[in-house]
Structure 1
Amino acid sequence: MNRITIVFTALFIASFSLSWAQKLIDPKATRETAALYRNMHELAKKHTLFGHQDATDYGHGWRDEPGRSDVKSVVGSHPAVIGVDIAPLTGRSAESIEKSQERLKKLVTDTYARGGITTISWHFSNPVSGGGFYWKDSVSLPAVKYIVPGGKNHQDYKLILQRLAGWFKSLKGANGGQIPLIFRPYHEFDGDWFWWGKSHCTPDEFKSLWQFTAGYLRDSLDVHNLIYAFSPDNKFNSVAEFTERYPGNEWVDLVGMDNYGDMGRDGKYNLEQAIKKLKIVNDFALENKKLAAFTETGLESIVNPVWYTDVLLKVLQKNKLNLAYVLVWRNDTKSPTHYYAPFPGHPAVPDFKMFYDHDYTMFEGDLKNIYSR
């Protein structure tokens, strides 16, 4: 075998390995969705994108001010990843849903136009009983077994997904293409606080719910702009526990973890555990050719003014992980204490600026052509 043959063989193998490693579960994914997925894989080798829930929808003491976010007010750039929740698109009146569709659509399209990324969560109100998305004893029903295939409310669930599919497909940029989204349904399923949680359905029922949801959106409703994200809370200590409800590699694009409990909630820090769990997520993702992310975390009120560099950054960087992004929770409009990103005048601002300036972190202003190959 001559040198030219060796070189071309090596390039072919590298190209094949790269394409396989970055393959979405949707073979019909839009070009921009596939490009976003590949680019996030590449960026994760050296950087982690910073995300904030509802960042441009509202913040500490304000709401509905186009172009504003608390993060931008502090460092001059929006977060690279912005969380949007589609709870208002289900379980409400038709009029309320229509208004919410337009409001959330604008948030997503504006983020896309700026070159940012949207991740979608779904605090889904119980579709078969009262109680909202939280589990309420004597009120909530274990809805999972009722809405999966064969369940008595399965057709109702299909109608809900049909309406969501219409909204997903309506999200288009100026070029007419559908906007890529990271879709993270049924999160924190290893806890008991949501009706889809561990005590309220079996592992097989949860897997069936996930597989039907992704399969129906993709194969029956022709939604091809989603990256499917699987994220438990922090209740696992091993790969076996992390994957107890994993629906299979053919149904998941991104794996993550939500973890507040090890990161300072109620003054309790267990950073060794946080690091261990993130490594489980990271290593599973690498072994199974998936993206990895720290899908939710934060410290309410940021009572530790150096939390971002002394806690979060150290946890993220400890093991040279390939994490696509980290997302902190929202800044409530009215609550004086419910916020997770600093705003002007907060004691954590100097530390957050250091976090922003670090070569490892990326914000929206750092992203270049994230939707292009």
Structure 2
Amino acid sequence: MRFSLRAGAALVAFAATAFAQTFTLEAEDGTLTGTTALTEIAGFSGTGYVGGWDEDGDSVALSFTSDETKLYDVKIRYSGPYGSKYTRISYNGVTGGDISLPETTEWATVNAGQALLNAGANTIKLDNNWGWYLIDAVILTPSVPRGPHQVTDALVNPNSNSVTKQLMKFLVSKYHKAYLSGQQDPPSYAWVEQNVGKSPAVLGLDLIEYSPSRVEFGSTSTAVEDAIAFDKRGGIVTFCWHWNAPSGLINTEGHEWWRGFYTEHVTFDVSAALANTTNSDYKLLIRDIDAIAVQLKRLQDAGVPVLWRPLHEAEGGWFWWGAKGPEPAKKLYKIVYDRLTNYHKLNNLIWMWNSVAKDWYPGDDVVDILSYDSYPATPGDHGPVSAQYNALVELGKDKKLIAASEVGTIPDPELMKVYQSYWSFFVTWNGEFIDSGKHNSLEFLKSLYNNSFVLNLDAIKGWKNGAGTSTTTTVSTTTPVPTTTPVPTTTSPTTTTTPKPSTTTTTPAPTGTGVAQKWSQCGGISFSGPTTCVAGTVCTVLNPYYHQCL
């Protein structure tokens, strides 16, 4: 939901009731726009169900009266005979997020998170997103405090080295007790330091430019050096890999080689490549994994543990590794895991999976942390992203750490407490997502980074020296809830109709000018790039490891 808690909003505790009444809102009884009440498929509740979700603007609006301001668990009863889809839910005009509807020919129920509804009349609306599904009902149950989780710090790689084990222990020890701040890419990280006055605890980096099909075009990167430098500052490093396809780069106007991680810009077929181990594309996949292993080995040799997130956002299909559905994506993930863990003996990786749907999950034996990349449809939506959080808790059987591995708009920590959606850490994406004011205002950022629940770099230094020793973590049985519904911020809605994929702003190849652009790195320990800044900016020393053109 798009919420912004007013400063000093009163919070009170709510207690579990002896029993919770369930309210079923039949879709066919709502206000239908572009959709149709149907009865052809048996098994529905009520007098029918709603179909016809085939155009933008198709919707169903349902009315519900609550006896008081109250938090409700929300579920959607649906059928998905046309494949896995998404629907978008909103409450009283405020978005509640995009809800995954896995493929099923039966009537099924999916968790849609939670909603804080007003005392009196409320409107719950479902809007068409990916379309072509059937909606039977929305089910509301008053929320009760979440019971204890048993999140373990045991890593899936039994040979994980000591510093990597210590990082996982530290993260688990802070789970539900704190919210670690994070920022993607050094230039945007430096922007936060300069403008917010705080240093995020986590630095997000990308191995994109180490992809062999980019190196062939002259790409270079200092991401490994940046990670080593940040580790020396006492921070935590996370890496994704926008894997440029090993072959099949279209490389024409509008489909340039440096767009080669997107499905639409390549002809590479991951399913065909994985059909057998003798074809040339399979061998190129292994070549690429081995090339990335070289960089991860440099980090291992430097004593840097990595929150490692390969094949991210596979479920969306916009990246080639997810374009052929869940089975090839899961198979490739397991190959990456096996190759890096057992062949290359990399023991400094904490393995993160980044899709919510159950049919995309590669399994508990190869995943340490479950994560979600949140780009709300409405910029400035600081809601807790509870639907995805709850889905991940269920996916990991309450035993996996849950993280907001990428965010466009940062979930508000106070709302996280209300909704019991305790993301371990967040990493804000770079560029406009952090510095434009559109997705995160400077006022919000300063409030966030000074919130006592948020841990920044200065608060986590020393984690390698033994901080965090618990092997499980529990959540309090008392959760705060506002006495009034939080007031939504006013922002302009986006025209995006699907979850926004992450992109990279890393320069794809050297320009040859030897001039660093505004906000770019221009010096620091281990830095080997250009040290001359573009006209109108000065290379400023922010710390011994990072100088920036400002």
After TM superposition, the score normalised by the length of structure 1 is 0.74
Is the aligned partner of 1:81 residue 2:202? Answer: yes
Q: Secondary structure at the match of 1:323?
A: coil
How many Å apart are 1:323 and its aligned residue? 2.2
Q: Is the 8 A contact 2:304 2:348 kept in 1?
A: yes
The 5 Å alignment of 1:8-47 reads: 21-47=152-178
C-alpha distance 179-149 of structure 1, shift in aligned 2 (>3 A): farther
Identity %: 23
- 1:171 corresponds to: 299
Q: 1:25-51: per-residue Cα shift (whole Å, max 9, x none)?
A: 111111000100111011122111111
Q: 1:252 aligns with which of 367, 383, 386?
A: 367
- 2:223 corresponds to: 104
Q: Secondary structure at the match of 2:372?
A: strand
Q: Secondary structure at the match of 1:295?
A: strand
Q: Is the 8 A contact 1:279 1:319 kept in 2?
A: no
Distance in 2, Cα, partners of 1:255 & 1:133: 22
Q: Is the 8 A contact 1:126 1:133 kept in 2?
A: yes
Q: 1:204 aligns with which of 318, 327, 338?
A: 327
C-alpha distance 315-277 of structure 1, shift in aligned 2 (>3 A): farther
More helix by share: 1
Distance in 2, Cα, partners of 1:74 & 1:282: 35
How many Å apart are 1:284 and its aligned residue? 3.7
Q: Is the 8 A contact 2:321 2:329 kept in 1?
A: yes
Is the aligned partner of 1:92 residue 2:92? Answer: no
Q: CA RMSD in A?
A: 2.8
Q: Secondary structure at the match of 2:248?
A: coil
- 1:328 corresponds to: 428
Distance in 2, Cα, partners of 1:149 & 1:33: 34
Distance in 2, Cα, partners of 1:361 & 1:252: 25
AA paired with 1:78?
Answer: S
Q: Secondary structure at the match of 2:426?
A: strand
C-alpha distance 53-125 of structure 1, shift in aligned 2 (>3 A): same
C-alpha distance 74-157 of structure 1, shift in aligned 2 (>3 A): same
How many Å apart are 1:343 and its aligned residue? 7.8
Distance in 2, Cα, partners of 1:223 & 1:246: 22
How many Å apart are 1:212 and its aligned residue? 0.9
- 1:118 corresponds to: 237
C-alpha distance 295-144 of structure 1, shift in aligned 2 (>3 A): farther
Q: Is the 8 A contact 2:449 2:456 kept in 1?
A: yes
Q: Secondary structure at the match of 1:229?
A: strand
Distance in 2, Cα, partners of 1:37 & 1:298: 25
C-alpha distance 288-211 of structure 1, shift in aligned 2 (>3 A): farther
Q: Secondary structure at the match of 2:181?
A: strand
Q: Is the 8 A contact 2:383 2:412 kept in 1?
A: no
Q: Secondary structure at the match of 1:39?
A: helix
Distance in 2, Cα, partners of 1:355 & 1:322: 15
Q: Secondary structure at the match of 2:463?
A: coil
C-alpha distance 148-229 of structure 1, shift in aligned 2 (>3 A): farther
C-alpha distance 211-252 of structure 1, shift in aligned 2 (>3 A): same
Q: Is the 8 A contact 1:282 1:321 kept in 2?
A: no
- 2:313 corresponds to: 188
How many Å apart are 1:127 and its aligned residue? 1.4
C-alpha distance 202-349 of structure 1, shift in aligned 2 (>3 A): closer
Q: Which runs of 5+ in 2 are unaligned?
A: 1-148, 251-259, 467-550
Q: 1:189-235: per-residue Cα shift (whole Å, max 9, x none)?
A: 111211122xx223222211111110110001111111111112xxx
Q: Secondary structure at the match of 1:327?
A: strand
Is the aligned partner of 1:226 residue 2:349? Answer: yes
AA paired with 2:393?
Answer: N
Structure with higher Rg: it is 2
Distance in 2, Cα, partners of 1:206 & 1:180: 25
Q: 1:102-145: per-residue Cα shift (whole Å, max 9, x none)?
A: x11220011100111111011111112115011117x4232244
Is the aligned partner of 1:279 residue 2:400? Answer: no
Question: Would you say how many aligned residue pairs link Structure 1 and Structure 2?
Answer: 306
**More relative contact order, 1 or 2 (CA 8 Å, 6+ apart):** 1
Distance in 2, Cα, partners of 1:298 & 1:21: 29
- 1:6 corresponds to: none
Is the aligned partner of 1:362 residue 2:473? Answer: no
AA paired with 2:296?
Answer: F
Q: Secondary structure at the match of 1:222?
A: coil
Distance in 2, Cα, partners of 1:226 & 1:321: 25
Q: Which runs of 5+ in 1 are unaligned?
A: 1-16, 60-67, 237-241, 300-307, 332-338
Distance in 2, Cα, partners of 1:148 & 1:116: 41
Is the aligned partner of 1:156 residue 2:275? Answer: no
AA paired with 2:170?
Answer: N
- 1:372 corresponds to: 465
Q: 1:246-265: per-residue Cα shift (whole Å, max 9, x none)?
A: 11111101101112135x24
- 1:292 corresponds to: 402
- 2:538 corresponds to: none
Distance in 1, Cα, partners of 2:312 & 2:196: 30
- 1:313 corresponds to: 413
Distance in 1, Cα, partners of 2:440 & 2:343: 51
C-alpha distance 34-347 of structure 1, shift in aligned 2 (>3 A): closer
How many Å apart are 1:270 and its aligned residue? 9.8
Q: 1:260-308: per-residue Cα shift (whole Å, max 9, x none)?
A: 135x24x8x5958x322222223444x3522110111124xxxxxxxx5
Q: Is the 8 A contact 2:358 2:395 kept in 1?
A: no
